């Protein structure tokens, strides 16, 4: 790095554009096309990775199934924007990576699907220097049919 500070306004603008597109996919009442988008794409999330000067931003999450004892621990660097505030802050929800092969790597090349969670974190955008949007097909349900 050349010592320059990252520009949180650029990241804010990028996340704002992502949030607007997500609102369209969710069926925002302000657009006449939003319900059509929701039916066509069958998703409501635009996944992304945030980068700081030290690499991809990564968090751990805990997803409960039926009881407090029945849970999955996961590590992720995949997020969804939930809310933006005016002072360079963003509330992100964690996207849980689903891996069909037995690997502990959560790199994008090993992830088969991403699942929304209700786990949220608020971040300061001045900490980050880049954002990378991911393929929307990572959020679609994968159906594995038997071959008999």
Residue 143's CB: how many other CB atoms inside 10 A?
5
| Residue 68 exposed, middle or buried by CB count within 10 Å (0-12, 13-18, 19+) | exposed
Under 8 Å between Cβ of 144 and 30: no
What is the per-residue pLDDT across 85-112, written as a single tens digit (0 to 9) for each? 888 899 999 998 887 766 555 667 778 8
Using left for φ > 0, alpha for ψ between -120 and 50, and beta otherwise, residue 42 falls in left
What's the rounded mean pLDDT across residues 68-73?
Answer: 68
Per-domain boundaries in the chain: 8-139
Average pLDDT, the chain: 78
| Residue 60 exposed, middle or buried by CB count within 10 Å (0-12, 13-18, 19+) | exposed
- Characterize 3-41 residue by residue with b for buried, 16 or more Cβ atoms within 10 angstroms of its Cβ, and e for exposed: eeebebeebbebbeebbebbebbeebeeeeebeebbeee
pLDDT value at 127 more than 80: yes
CA neighbor of 97 nearest in space, from 85, 109, 88: 109
What is the per-residue pLDDT across 15-59, written as a single tens digit (0 to 9) for each? 999 998 888 777 655 555 555 555 666 678 889 999 999 999 999
- What would the two tokens of residue 136 be? 């929307």
Stated pTM of the model: 0.78
What's the rounded mean pLDDT across residues 69-83?
Answer: 85
């Amino acid at each position: 790095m050349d010592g320059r500070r990252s520009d949180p306004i650029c990241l804010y603008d990028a996340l704002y554009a992502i949030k607007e597109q997500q609102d369209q996919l969710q069926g925002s009442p302000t657009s006449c096309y939003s319900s059509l988008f929701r039916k066509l794409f069958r998703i409501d999330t635009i996944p992304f990775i945030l980068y700081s000067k030290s690499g991809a931003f990564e968090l751990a999450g805990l997803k409960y199934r039926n009881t407090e004892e029945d849970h999955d621990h996961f590590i992720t660097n995949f997020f969804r924007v939930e809310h933006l505030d005016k002072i360079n802050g963003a509330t992100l929800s964690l996207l849980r990576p689903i891996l069909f092969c037995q690997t502990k790597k959560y790199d994008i090349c090993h992830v088969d699907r991403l699942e929304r969670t209700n786990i949220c974190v608020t971040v300061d955008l001045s900490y980050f220097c880049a954002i990378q949007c991911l393929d929307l097909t990572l959020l679609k349900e994968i159906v594995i049919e038997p071959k008999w």
